Structure 1
Amino acid sequence: MKGFMKLGCLVAGFVLFVFGLLSGEALSQAMIQVKGSDSEVNLVQRLAEVFMKKNPDVNIAVTGGGSGTGIAALINKKTDIANSSRDLSPKEEQAAKQAGVQPFRVVFATDGISAIVHPENPIQKLTQEQLGKIFKGEIKDWKEVGRKEGKISLYGRQSNSGTYVFFRGFVVKADYSPHMKSMNGNAQIVEAIKKDKDGIGYVAVGYVVNNKGEVMPGVKIVNIAKDAQSEAFSPAIMDNVMTGKYPISRPLNQYLNGKPSGKLLDFIRFQISPEGQEIVRKQGFFPVQKNWMEFNRKQGL
């Protein structure tokens, strides 16, 4: 009996020893939680993968759900970083203040929101105003913008999406058409357009363009002009977006609770470093524009 008791004690001790080692290893790993924008999720996942490979003592979990979801998680102190493809709303700023959260903004990439159609759609260009009228439902047929007759099918995002909010405010400037199909993400819009010859949708550029400026098979990007007197430009060409020739560009943001420190600061600085910006480019997005680089610098980054 004493032998069994002695053996039991040895086994228990070994289990506790192993558990202690594992617990120590887990505790030594810095955990960073990132939630939010669907437009940013693939890009940030790739940035996180490279950073973790260089920093094995850091574990970064990246999930989507939309900019609104990420911002809500930050306000509720359920995430370290909120990916957001739009600015915080006044209501969100007030909620953050009441929760004792101090939103700290970082701009880590640039996006050119792209209007996409089926490759067999002959439309080549639209003005920003025409695009807005299409999505608010004032222009309902392709013949109204110079194409042969065909009822326009609209594909957009859900209301928790930062792209939904930005595009509505910057392009549509009104409520969306009630006939717009609300899709879960950029990828779903792309797949829908591939099957709909009369469809049009809006997506983040990184979902339809690679780092060489090549548009993915199965969709076509419509060139957009600022107004009827201006030349139309494509967001597939980096210079068009970076110089403002393409009119529908935006900064891609991350929000944190106060200025970051430690491994969190290291990750933020990695994203906006030359190496991080090269990854941004390889994922089909564009580097931080000069004015936002200066913004980051003034933030102490």
Structure 2
Amino acid sequence: MRMNILKKGLFSILIVGGMLSASAVAEARSKVIQAKGSDTILNVSQSIAENYMKENRGARIAVTGGGSGVGISALLNGTTDIAMASRNIKEKEISMAKSKGIDVREVVLGFDGITIVANLANPVKDIDDITLGKIFRGEISNWKEIGGEDAPIVVLSRDSSSGTHEFFKEHIIRENNTKKELEYGEKTLYMPSNEAIKQEIKVNKNAIGYIGMGYMDSTVESIKVDGVEATPENVSNKTYPIAREVYWYVDKNAEEDINKLVDYALSPKGQGIVKEEGFVPVK
């Protein structure tokens, strides 16, 4: 009888052990890598994730936008594995990460040219960077001041959570940060995404805005800056004046599956996707 009890006890332990093992396997399989942040590189990050999952059937990746600031905050709060950003992480954000035990790794995914866009009917095709700053500060408010029609300029910008908003402010509005007190003009309309700016530009002949190069298409007009068009070639050869790196930020101590995804993004296949999506690859 005692033997039967021992057998039953052992059988129960094996069942429980088996359940725990199965649970652990299920949990491992259900692990979803989270990537969150910049809308500028949302599409290219989604394409990389989709192709990676096709080649790695057990992988599960969720990619969402919200802006560079949202992504970096999520990384610091432990609610994302990858922060997508179109600006550098700030020193105070690095310090905050360290205080939470996160050792931030900066991964340059590619290069982007911030494209100035206007309605297809707009006759202005080229604006120098100093004049561009005056427009976005509200100091120039009518198209006739720069060779256009007698009509008010409707200025569109990304909202403050956007890394593109920050970069544009530093390099155009503040003239490469030499005039740190300058800000966007009071009448600036802030838009939630690159696509929102593009859609408004399409229907508003007096609007001007900026979008990531990967969002450019034939429905809006690309305005040259200092006589240079925003193209992958001009970003690559550094002649286009409003170009920047775009990033993935991860924890240096990230799990293996996250590091494998990062390695894929930097591989020839991943960098091919970066190029297909309208950005300049790093390799």
TM-score (norm 2): 0.87
The CA distance in 2 between the partners of 1:270 and 1:111, in whole Å, is 20
Query: 8 Å contact 2:105–2:250 — kept in the other structure?
Result: yes
* Alignment deviations for residues 35-79 of structure 1 (CA, whole Å, 9 cap, x no partner): 111111111011000001101121111111100001111111111
Alignment length (residue pairs): 259
Structure 1 residues 191-206: aligned runs within 5 Å: 191-206=199-214
The CA distance in 2 between the partners of 1:85 and 1:260, in whole Å, is 21
Matched residue of 1:233: which SS? coil
Matched residue of 1:120: which SS? coil
- The verdict on how the C-alpha distance between 1:18 and 1:94 changes in structure 2, with shifts beyond 3 A counting, is closer
Query: 8 Å contact 1:30–1:57 — kept in the other structure?
Result: no
- The verdict on how the C-alpha distance between 1:193 and 1:76 changes in structure 2, with shifts beyond 3 A counting, is same
2:185 aligned partner: 177
* Alignment deviations for residues 232-266 of structure 1 (CA, whole Å, 9 cap, x no partner): 1111x321110111111010111112254522111
Identity of aligned residues (%): 37
1:11 aligned partner: none
The letter for the 1-side match of 2:192 is N
Structure 1 residues 1-301: aligned runs within 5 Å: 24-173=25-174, 174-208=182-216, 216-225=217-226, 232-235=227-230, 237-288=231-282
How large is the RMSD of aligned CA atoms in angstroms?
1.9
Structure 2, unpaired ranges of 5+: 1-17, 175-181
Structure 1 residue 29: Cα displacement: 4.7
TM-score (norm 1): 0.82
Query: 8 Å contact 1:86–1:165 — kept in the other structure?
Result: yes
The 10-residue stretch of structure 1 (165-174 or 111-120) with the greater mean CA deviation from structure 2: 165-174
The CA distance in 1 between the partners of 2:21 and 2:75, in whole Å, is 32
Structure 1, unpaired ranges of 5+: 1-16, 209-215, 226-231, 294-301
The CA distance in 2 between the partners of 1:24 and 1:259, in whole Å, is 22
The CA distance in 2 between the partners of 1:22 and 1:250, in whole Å, is 45
Query: 8 Å contact 2:201–2:208 — kept in the other structure?
Result: yes
The CA distance in 2 between the partners of 1:19 and 1:221, in whole Å, is 58
Structure 1 residue 98: Cα displacement: 2.1
